[in-house]
């Protein structure tokens, strides 16, 4: 895996270089002391993983992670402040290393990143069965998109409802999940709901029927849903 490290503390970067050099298969491409320079590098160079400090001048690590496109690298946050943990997982971070951390804890984070990359690569190659990967209960779960009935959004997390009747909770906004879904297979019908187009059985009276589940169509989404009928 290729990686970069971003931290405004030179000593922290030196430690990261030392740790990275001891991991076979992990290649450090560059280090940066500010997020703006790292952002510019990422626009020109594909990278698998970023070790990213959060509390930095001008642009924070959280802001940098949010600014990256849908092909963004995996992120492992490295910070001295535990209060940012929720923000870190809100941007789909692989792990969160609280400074000072030992090499053994660093290796645990690398293992998570490797597992996540392997799962993602497997899903990208499985064109017959497209899937998304989400974090739930500190695990990376693979969910086949053909198994998704609808997705329900709450303030800080979403609930993915499956055909089987099971549901999966993950810390992610409803606004960000479409980036993970196959194009033209899902549609947002309400500020709180995204549904599988292939599972829609009926559209009537400002409602969508999915199996035995009825969901309301939001006023601002009526035209979008009506486009399915053309």
The two three-digit tokens of residue 87, written as one number:
């923000």
Where in the chain are all domains bearing CATH 2.40.50.1020? Answer: 131-229
Residues of the chain with pLDDT under 50: none
pTM of the model: 0.56
Which pLDDT value is given to residue 5? 96
CATH number among 2.40.50.1020, 1.10.3720.10, 3.90.1640.10, 2.102.10.10, domain 131-229: 2.40.50.1020
Report the 3 state secondary structure along the chain: CEEEEECCCHHHHHHHHHHHHCCCCCEEEEEECCHHHHHHHHHHCCCCEEEEECCCCCCCHHHHHHHCCCCCCEEEEEECCHHHHHHHHHCCCCEEEECCCCHHHHHHHHHHHHHHHHHHHHHHHCCCCCEEEEEECCEEEEEEHHHEEEEEECCCCEEEEECCCCEEEECCCCCCHHHHCCCCCEEEEECCEEEEHHHCCEEECCEEEECCEEEECCHHHHHHHHHHHC
CA separation, residue 50 to residues 39, 40, 71, 112, 138 (Å): 11, 14, 13, 13, 19
CA separation, residue 66 to residues 45, 59, 62, 221, 229 (Å): 18, 11, 6, 26, 35
Where in the chain are all domains bearing CATH 3.40.50.2300? Answer: 2-125
CATH of domain 2-125: 3.40.50.2300
Which pLDDT value is given to residue 18? 96
Say which residues have a Cβ less than 8 Å from residue 112's Cβ, sequence separation at least 6: 94, 95, 140
Q: Which residues, listed in sequence order, are joined to residue 4 by a DSSP beta bridge?
A: 30, 50
- pLDDT (tens digit, 9 = 90+) per residue, 173-197? 898 898 888 878 999 999 999 999 9
Which pLDDT value is given to residue 82? 66
Which pLDDT value is given to residue 79? 85
Which pLDDT value is given to residue 25? 92
Contact 209, 201 (CB under 8 A): yes
């Amino acid at each position: 895996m290729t990686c970069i490290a971003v931290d405004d503390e030179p000593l922290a970067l030196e430690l990261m270089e030392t740790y990275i050099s001891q991991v076979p298969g992990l290649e450090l491409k560059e280090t940066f002391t500010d997020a703006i320079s790292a952002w510019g590098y990422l626009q020109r160079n594909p990278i698998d993983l970023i070790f990213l400090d959060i509390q930095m001048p001008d642009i924070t690590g959280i802001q940098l992670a949010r600014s990256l496109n849908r092909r963004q690298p995996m992120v492992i946050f490295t910070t001295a402040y535990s209060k940012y943990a929720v923000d870190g997982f809100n941007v789909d971070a692989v792990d969160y290393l609280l400074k000072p951390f030992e090499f053994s804890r660093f290796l645990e984070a690398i293992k998570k990143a490797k597992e996540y990359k392997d799962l993602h690569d497997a899903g990208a190659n499985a064109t017959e069965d497209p899937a998304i990967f989400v974090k739930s209960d500190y695990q990376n779960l693979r969910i086949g998109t053909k198994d998704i009935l609808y997705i329900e959004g709450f303030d800080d997390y979403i609930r993915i409802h499956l055909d089987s009747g099971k549901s999966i909770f993950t810390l992610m906004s409803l606004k960000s999940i479409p980036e993970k879904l196959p194009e033209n297979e899902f549609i947002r019908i309400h500020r709180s709901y995204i549904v599988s187009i292939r599972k829609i059985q009926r559209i009537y009276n400002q409602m969508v029927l999915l199996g035995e589940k009825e969901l309301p169509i939001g006023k601002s989404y009526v035209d979008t849903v009506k486009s399915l009928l053309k």
